[in-house]
Structure 1
């Protein structure tokens, strides 16, 4: 019986079919018996260690190869550090707004602010795609500049005590982060083989979440410092300021080194 395309049954059948074939691994049930066959001369323990060691060696080799690139390393470090801070801000911004303007005494527009910040971030990313910038030369300095702007927005959000200022700074904060994380994703992907995408993005995300967990335990949790929401946001602002300082120093070093190399190239050719 044919399923009509206009009904909900068609996409449901397509998704079920896709899920079935995506998870179908016909050779997997026969892999271990094949490797343990008499002609392979492997015990079950040898086959499982051998397989695990090969996987770990390959992952470690790919890891060292990927992160040996200075460009990829810089963008990955920014990715991990900034994503940690970003998650902290968006996770606890609602608590900050509740302190600034309690929902029991005033109108709240938290959902609208989230929607506006998401839409504005998407539009801005689209526009940024038409701006030509040498990210290989100026990328680290721009990361330093925008990380400083993020630090300022978080600090203003914390100290002003006006809900509309909080909303505006939050929209600016999210917009800048979305722009930078999109550029970082592109720069990392451009310096990678497609086979290493999952490894690098997985490692970067894992580090970001590990740092976020550590920061939550130290700053927020009662077993740590258990700081109030306003002090927390001062720490988040200082955290982004530290990120800005790190990339300012690294970026200046990189630019100076490039200038010295360019200045020294003609002399070396004449020599």
Structure 2
């Protein structure tokens, strides 16, 4: 894996600190990303009485679901904007500002750690896995979700449209591949390097129900950081062609007056022995 890029960290932090982006994600992307949470908590073995950390908690969805199972849940995010949103939505839970790659918890102090689509945004996801290993007790479990490979609908429609009608080599801070952990072998290797054992990798079928063929383009523009920046860096002519290609791709999934876009996720888990 390439060396972490500080400018990518700053880029992600600035993007997710914008109130419009946090609100856009909550309104447009959370209806699909939250579908993975129950599988994520199952993979981490979250049950009543456990102390559980939700890393890159965003608006607090996974932490709230863990608390709903009776766990002592804590959510952490590097964006003060996201933490404020989580506290508004779930005022009875513990949300803190902090870095996934330098977790502010003592060694062996947690029973489980989860991250729902968070590792896509970490400059150094291997550092996060090492930190997760450190703060988990022996027998504790880590679980994280990412999108399935790009050839299985979902975000592949976005990147495929850009490749066909625009440019991928736009001036954005380079970071880890968006689909790095879509590869089960990469998941297993990174977890093993961090010290984890007994890794499992499973595909979870999610469906993004959109009201119009333009819903995907609008959601990406309003509720993402890296993908939105990629689109915004295109020429006006290319962006129009990309939008049209995405519209046509989504239209193929018409069903019952809406558009049901397959968004399969990968949920990976492992244990600290």
Task: Give TM-score, length-normalised by structure 2.
Answer: 0.24
Instruction: Give the structure with the higher percent strand.
Output: 2
Question: Considering only CA atoms, is the larger Rg found in Structure 1 or Structure 2?
Answer: 1
Q: Which has the higher contact order (CA 8 A, sep 6+)?
A: 1
Task: Give TM-score, length-normalised by structure 1.
Answer: 0.24
